[in-house]
Structure 1
Amino acid sequence: MSEPLLPARLRRRGFLAGALGVGATAALTACTSNEAPSSGANVAAAPAAGNNAESGTPVTIGFSAPAADHGWIAAIANNAKAQADQYPDVTFKPVNPTNDVTQQIAAVQTLINDRVNALVILPNDGSQLTSVGRQAMDAGIPVINLDRIFDSPLAYRAWIGGDNYGMGASAGHYIGERLRTAGVANPIIAEVAGIDNLPLTEQRSAGFRDALQTYGFAVGPRQAADFTAQGGQRVTANLLQAAPRLDAMWNHDDDQGIGVLAAINQAGRNEFFMVGGAGSANAMREIQADSSVLKATVTYSPSMASSAIALARLVAQGRGMNDLAEREVPASITLASATITRENVADYLPLGFES
């Protein structure tokens, strides 16, 4: 999860682009004045430092992530390896994926003892893995923290991940606009969340709630599942039984969306439309076919793992991102969440991961 020619900000292994040496254009912004600089002002110009894709000092990058028992996580691991394979100067050293925090800590400690040149870590739990991130950084091994963030910036050199709040906001705006255009007053809007004790779920729900409020709408019945198809089917069946009428639904995760759709079909419900989350190929094919209640999904792309490897390589080699004026790789990069509909799904489908 060979790349077709897609919009630069969307390419699986290239959204950070010229800077990361994978062939697209970055869309990173900074706080600037709206006025042109006056004559003689100090203006920072990006140095012409060469192509980041050119080979540099050979480096070994360690990689640790949860077990690939979920389509999105599987795509994370696949993308990381595929990106590393592009570089002749990178030795990719993954450890066994695990959903056990203690085992993940032990695996990362093995990589630290092996003196890898950089680490990319998607922790099962950011808080519980913070200490091992600190161990690596204290040992002089830069850590690229992927998605689930550590508690302390001292535990990582750079963080890259999705915009959970923005994901919820994108879903809320799509639903709000569609209902307002249809002239629906006082709509009943359901939400099937992921795991409620995860900060990412709280952020997604907050973005969804805040976006709907701008239209004068509110979230109606809400159930939390567990990011699995089985959990999605179970909680959606309960939600539908308790809500005889709905106007719209947002499901946080396209993997659990398989079960959500199954429950909707079993209940024979089609009076509402649904928005998914993350951008799986399965969901996009449903949207393209336009044969179910699923009409859109909002992205949370596993391409972030590809870019994390690219960042780790640059940091380990002491290089910056040559499209930027600064000489150092940024400390934090947040991906934007796009809304995929029938009108643009063909552009995004090659990026989809299989649930």
Structure 2
Amino acid sequence: MKALCWEGVDKLAVERVPDPQILNDQDAILKVTLTTTCGSDLHLINGYIPTMRAGDVMGHEFMGEIVEVGPGVRHRKVGDRVVVCSFIACGRCWYCTHDLWSLCDNTNTNWELAQEIFGFETGGVYGYSHAMGGYKGSHSEYIRVPMADYGTFPVPDGVSDKDALYASDAAPTGWMGAHLGGVQPGDVVAVWGAGGVGQMAARAAELLGAERVIVIDRLPERLAMTEQYIGAETIDFSRTDVDAELRERTGGRGPDVCIEAVGMEAVSNNVRHAYDKAKQQIRLQHERPVAVRQAIYSCRKGGSVFILGVFGGLADKFPLGAMMNKGLTVRGAQQHGHRYIPMLLERIAAGELSPGHLATHEMSLDEAPRGYELFNNKKDGCVRAVFRPHG
């Protein structure tokens, strides 16, 4: 079958790889209908995740049709149209039974690598390096889905493939940021990043009752999309002092909840960005935590900061003093999608959430390298590129 493979830093190629097979009785084989780029994929392409190997299949956000099931699969059948959570979870360990699905004890087959990097293993992830299990990704014609009874979710009739696609990762990640960030009715919420996850976090905050939601970015097309489809206020950080602007809009206090949805390759228009980028390029630090710093400094005293962007290691100049002395609650997580996806599909079916607008560029799998070039370099207004492996 055809698949998009990582072949080195800034090197992607569509290649022929072996067809997936049932390896465990709880596996399913999925015919991939749609699969999309994600901002966290760029960390792989740009070489900031060190445990990639040439030939690894990319992609972790996808939906499709089940074409084969193992003998242990009880609740899914051939022909089901499903969306798949990007994290793989067993459904039975302590973490899964406590709704902490991305921390599953049993699905990261390379747990030694994860322990070396994070101090503890996480769950497995499709197409996201050998530290996260070394699983084949979704930018392919077919994919093996372990623990299919837990990780696949039937798509309701009337929900389009494109809307369902973003229930795989962007929508549950954004919802988790607003939910675990503690958004309450009447809150003012600020979101750093107007990509797919940032927009979904903003919409989640609205649905959870936030009085005002303010999204911060520098790309005009993303800011315009956020205003049009999400209805949130926006700030272009390249044109103003974000901290001063947020204080002005919140009576001097700052937002109640700040959500960082950018990650380890954040940019800014101040000298700290140059400092972070230089240290990251020569591997003296792993991250460019510009947006995290700004969220901590801008959040009101006693407020909440949630880190949604992907980070892989150590960050310099972390504002620990501000966090402690301001009495902030700071949390972060990879998405516990199994906790949120059924509810999100219901909201999509009811018309409360419509993430399909994120798919700005649709193309065949053969064109995937060009899709990532557009996505990585923010060309042609690309917010998300979506690939159709079967035409």
Common topology (TM > 0.5): no
More helix by share: 1
Larger Rg belongs to: 1
TM-score for the superposition, normalised by structure 1: 0.33
TM-score for the superposition, normalised by structure 2: 0.31
